[in-house]
Structure 1
Amino acid sequence: MRWLWGILLLMSSVVLAESTQIFVDSSDAQKTQVELFEFTSPEMQQQAIALAKSLRCPQCQNQNLIESNSPIALDLRLIVFEMKNQGQSDQQVIDYMTARYGEFVRYKPEFSLRNAILWGLPVVVLLLFILRSALQITRRNSNS
């Protein structure tokens, strides 16, 4: 009976996904607006492209804003281009994107206590495991 409910749930989620159009194609107007964007100088264009390559697409997760063709990536790429063209610094653009989409949008998140715990806790647990194992082995060897 459970497998029947599982199948019904799976089928309903597929129908719902098709009806709500979760993944929508980029419009031609969007693509044209991004592709024909005019920068004030070639240097500004290089800086904006480099900055957009350092930011992750919120939808694709494994692509940067330049590589992704999702609608959200095109919108964000246009925002990056406009902000850079207005003379804003890379840090201002990164701060804007981080405030809106969180640390996830950055490939290289800032060092913080939260990130240190996230990356450091497994190392500390591994070291404690090795230390405890070594102590138990030395106790067994001394008792034998």
Structure 2
Amino acid sequence: MLLRSILLLLVLWTSSSAAVIETYDFSSPELEARYKLLSQELRCPKCQNQNIADSNAPISRDLRAILYEQLESGASNEEIVDFLVDRYGEFVRYRPGVDSNTMWLWSAPLILFVMAASVVLIQIRRDQATATVSFNTQRAEALRRKYVDGDS
């Protein structure tokens, strides 16, 4: 039992040292800030809805390395994003650009808002019309009772 406990402790102790943390030495704090910003804005091509900063997938590690190399070589944020979009497709962006393929994506919220507002306005008008008819019916009934019952 003692031998098993020692082996288990040894396995657990050595497995934590196998975890590798990526560290990059940036030439300036500005580049490090841009790296953090871009790694939060770029999506992992393998993972569903996870950015490359949070993903442990091998492709995300590669993308982080490419991002570091491009930043250190002096590329702008736009150039880096364009390079990755050319290589991996529009999916790597969390905020896709506006073009003919994504126009429906950008216009859908506005269209849905206009449709919802139209439904609400139509319902309000119907309620007002029903209330007016109901009020007029009640008023007519009251007048009829007053004059019919009053004359008898």
Task: Report TM bin, short chain.
Answer: 0.5 to 0.7
**Change in 2 beyond 3 A, CA 1:142/1:76:** same
Equivalent in the alignment of 1:140? 130
Deviations 1:48-71 (A, max 9, x none): 233112212222233221111012
Q: Is 2:117 the partner of 1:130?
A: no
Query: Which residue is 2:89 aligned to?
Result: 101
- Greater RCO (Cα-Cα under 8 Å, separation 6 or more): 1
Q: Which has the larger radius of gyration?
A: 2
Equivalent-residue separation in structure 2 for 1:98 and 1:118 (angstroms): 23
In the alignment, what sits opposite 2:60? 73
1:110 is displaced (CA, Å) by 4.2
Q: Aligned equivalents of 1:53 and 1:91: distance in 2?
A: 15
Spell out, residue by residue over 1:57-114, the C-alpha distance to the aligned partner (whole angstroms, 9 max, x if none): 2222332211110122112112211221221101111222334321x43334446643
Q: Does 1:91 align with 2:81?
A: no
Is residue 2:51 matched to residue 1:51? no
Question: Sequence identity of aligned pairs in percent?
Answer: 29
Pair 139,47 (structure 1): closer, same or farther in 2 beyond 3 Å: same
The Cα of 1:37 is off from its aligned counterpart by 5.1
Give, as a single letter, the amino acid of the residue that structure 2 aligns with 1:101. Answer: G
Please give the TM-score of this superposition, normalised by the length of structure 1: 0.62
The alpha-carbon deviation at position 134 of structure 1 amounts to 0.9
CA RMSD of aligned residues (A): 2.8
How many residues align? The count is 112
Within 2, Cα distance between the matches of 1:42 and 1:76?
A: 20
CA distance in 2, matches of 1:36, 1:131: 57
